[in-house]
Amino acid sequence: MSTSDLINVGLSEASNDKLDELKEMGVFADKIDGYRFGVSLALAHGVVPGELVKRENLFNVGSLDPDQMLRQAVEALMPQQLEQITVYRLIERLADWGVAELHAQAKAGEIDFPALLEEAASK
């Protein structure tokens, strides 16, 4: 990839609202916790999400990924996708999908985190 990467990552308007709700419901202490979990959920499921609709900025990349662990995980798990887009643009889209998925589960009842972790381990 030759284009430079994002300095700030964000979400679609819809997912941002959902992330707000997740925080209000008390599922996560901070939005950034939900964001990161969303990324990991999407990575575990191996989804390839599309572009963000009505994108809104949220976090500085340095705040989101201080030890570059997310970057390395994405690079290790989705090398193919990274031929098309930059790491943090991919991370954004993963987060977008992950947050929407968490929100859907929270609305249906309580999110069963142990089950999600179990699933990721068995995949």
3-state SS record for the chain: CCCCCCCEEEEEHHHHHHHHHHHHCCCCCCHHHHHHHHHHHHHHHCCCCCCCCCEEEEEEHHHHCCCCHHHHHHHHHCCCHHHCCCHHHHHHHHHHHHHHHHHHHHHHCCCCHHHHHHHHHHC
| Residue 28 is a binding residue for another protein (CB under 8 A) | yes
Single residue of 2, 24, 30, 83 touching another protein by CB under 8 A: 30
Single residue of 9, 19, 39, 91 touching another protein by CB under 8 A: 39
Between 3 and 46, name the residue whose CB sits nearer to another protein.
46
* Candidate ranges 12-20, 50-58, 81-89, 108-116; the one touching another protein (CB under 8 A): 108-116
| Residue 36 is a binding residue for another protein (CB under 8 A) | yes
For another protein, the binding residues (CB under 8 A) are 26-30, 33, 36-37, 39-41, 43-44, 67-69, 72-73, 76-77, 113-114, 116-118, 120-123
